[in-house]
Amino acid sequence: MKETTTLKTNMLDSFAPADLTKFIFSRITKAALEQETEEVVLPAQGVDYVGRTSTNIPQEFICPLTGLIFEDPVTLETGQTFERASIKSWISKGNRTCPVTRRSLECQNVPCSNFILKRVITNWKSEHWRQLLAYFSKLAGNSGGHGWLKNEIAVSVLEQLLIALNQDQRKAALVQLLSLGILQFLIERFNRGNAREKICVSVLLCSCIEADTNCRNVVARNVDKIRLLNLLQRAELVLRRNTFLLLTELICLNRRKDAKFFFKGLHKDNIVKAMHDLQTYLQDCPCEQKIMVAVLLLHFNLLAETDMPSTYRDDAVDAMTLALERSLSDGRSREICCKALLILGGYFSFSGKIMTEDWILKQAGFLEGFGVENPVEEQNNALADATVMTMEDEEQETREKWLLDASALLIGSGKKSFVEALSKCLGSGNSEMVRICLTTVAWLSSALASLNDSEFELSAFLAVITQLIECLQHGDLIEHKVLASMCLLNFSRIQG
C-alpha cells in the first residue's frame, strides 16, 4: 500500500501543470459520478471515515474528527487540537469531554484560533502541495460507498489547490478546470451540498469569476437563490462572509435589467428576510467590510422594487457615511470605499469590470479628448467592455432610474449626512479618493438635475459645492477640474 501511495505522489511530481489539473479533475469527476442520492452531514464524531495513515502529511495537521487538514485549528485545554467547526458541533451536541482523551472540559467555549499552527500549516502547504493533492485524491478514491463524502473531498481537492498555488498558478489552473466543466460541478455542489461544502464552494465560485468573468452570468442564472440567501441566516460568520462576497460578485452585472432579474421569482418575504440578515451582518462584520455590505443592502432595497422598512436604508447609509469618515485616516478603508462608491454607480462591462468612472468621463468629454488608458485585456473582453457605452434605450432608462433612486436614497436616508461625508473626502487631498468622490457627485447631481421639481434644497449641497469650487480653482489635475466643472453645471440646473 505504501508503494502505491509513493507511486501516485511521484506520478504527480512528473506532471506538467495542465496535466496535473486534468488528473485532479478526473478524480473530482469520478467522485461526482459515483454520488449517492442522500444528503448526509459529516458527523462530529471520532469515526475514521477517510483514514489517517498518510506518511506524507504530519498527523498534527489533521483534525481527529474530520480526518481533513486543519483550516481553522483550535487547541483545547487538554492539549488536543481540532477544526473549529467540528469541535463546536461536538460541544453543541451536549458533549462535555475531549473527543480524543475523554477528559472533562471545564471550559465549554471554543478557544481562539491556533494561529501558530495555522501559519505552520500554510507554509507546509506551499512547499508540499503536490503531496497534498495526492493525499486528497487518494481519499476520494478510498471513501467507500459514502457518495456524499466523495463530493466533499472533491471540493476539498479544489480548495487545497487554490490555497497551495500562487495567484498566477491559481488562475491558470482554474482556467484549465473551467474548460473541463468544473463550474457546473461547483454550482451543483452549492445547490445540493452540506454547510461545509457551501463554505468552500462559495469561495471557489468567487475564484472562478475572478479567473474567467464569463462565469459571473452563469452563476447568477443557475445558483439556487433561496439557498444562497438562506446562508445569511447561519451562525457561522465565515459562511455569512463568503455568501456576502458571492452576492457582491453577482450584482456586478453589465445590464441593470439582469441585476433585477436575479430577484425575479423570489417572494417578498424572502427578500425582506435576506435584508434583515444583511442588516445583522452589517453589525457583526469587520469595520473594513461595512461599506461593501451597506452597498449590497442598498442594492437589495433598490433592485427588489418593493416597499421596505426605512431602517434598512438608514442603517446602510449611516454605515457608508461612517466608512467614508474613517477612510480619511485609514488607507485600507479608503481603498474599499472607492470601490464601493463605484459599484453603487451601477455601470459594469460585460466582464464585470466597474465602468462608472469611464462612463462619467465620457459624459464630461474627457475620455475621448484625453485618451484615458484602458487596461490590457484580451480583444474579446475589450470589445465587450465597450458595450457599456452603447446600450439600447430600455436599458438606458433602467440605468437612469437606478441613479435617480440611488441618489434620492443616499440624500434622504440615514441619521448622518452622506453629502457632508463626501465633502470631507473631497477635501482630503488624496488624489484617488477625490477623483472617485467627484465621480460620485457627478452622477448624483446629474440624476437630481433631471427632476423637474427637486425636493432637495440646493443649500443641502453647500459644503460639496464649496469643495468643487476649490477643486476647480486650485486643483492640480485636469481630470479633477473637468469633473468638478461638470458637477457644478449639474447643480446649477437644480431648482430650489
pLDDT tens digit sequence for 223-240: 999 999 988 988 778 888
| Residue 269, domain member (yes or no) | no
| Residue 299, domain member (yes or no) | yes
Here the CATH number for the domain that contains residue 29 is 3.30.40.10
Q: Are residues 297 and 218 in the same domain?
A: no
pLDDT at 462: 87
pLDDT exceeding 70 applies to what percent of the chain? Answer: 75
Cα distances from 292 to residues 339, 353, 414, in angstroms, run: 8, 16, 16
Q: Are residues 239 and 309 in the same domain?
A: no
Task: Give exposure, 14-30, as e/b (b: 16+ Cβ within 10 Å).
Answer: eeeeeebbbbbbebbee
| Residue 270, domain member (yes or no) | no
Q: Are residues 15 and 50 in the same domain?
A: yes
Q: Are residues 375 and 435 in the same domain?
A: yes
Q: Are residues 302 and 160 in the same domain?
A: no
- Is residue 297 scored above 90 in pLDDT? yes
| Residue 258, domain member (yes or no) | no
pLDDT at 135: 54
pLDDT at 381: 47
pLDDT at 378: 46
Q: Are residues 285 and 247 in the same domain?
A: no
Residue in 163, 263, 150 with CA at minimum distance from that of residue 203: 163
Q: Are residues 327 and 467 in the same domain?
A: yes
Cell numbers at residue 316, please?
A: 446602510
Q: Are residues 244 and 302 in the same domain?
A: no
- Is residue 304 scored above 70 in pLDDT? yes
**Lowest mean pLDDT across 93-97, 216-220, 478-482:** 93-97
Domain count, the chain: 2
Tell me the pLDDT tens digit for each residue of 316-326. 999 999 999 99
Assign 278 a pLDDT band (cuts: 50, 70, 90).
Answer: very high
| Residue 214, domain member (yes or no) | yes
| Residue 414, domain member (yes or no) | yes
Rounded to two decimals, what is the model's pTM? 0.69
Beta bridge partners of 82: 74
Cell numbers at residue 478, please?
A: 485636469
**Lowest mean pLDDT across 25-34, 56-65, 320-329, 422-431:** 25-34
Residue in 183, 185, 276 with CA at minimum distance from that of residue 229: 276
Residue in 285, 287, 269, 265 with CA at minimum distance from that of residue 230: 269
**Residue 82: helix, strand or coil by DSSP?**
strand
Q: Of 207, 235, 252, which residue constitutes the final position of a domain?
A: 252
Q: Which domain holds residue 334?
A: 278-492
| Residue 222, domain member (yes or no) | yes
The mean per-residue pLDDT over the stretch 454-481 comes to 83
Q: Are residues 237 and 355 in the same domain?
A: no
Q: Are residues 210 and 352 in the same domain?
A: no
Tell me the pLDDT tens digit for each residue of 366-422. 765 333 444 444 444 454 445 444 556 677 788 888 888 888 889 888 788 899 999
Cα distances from 413 to residues 84, 251, 292, 310, 321, in angstroms, run: 40, 22, 17, 8, 11
| Residue 267, domain member (yes or no) | no
Q: Are residues 118 and 196 in the same domain?
A: yes
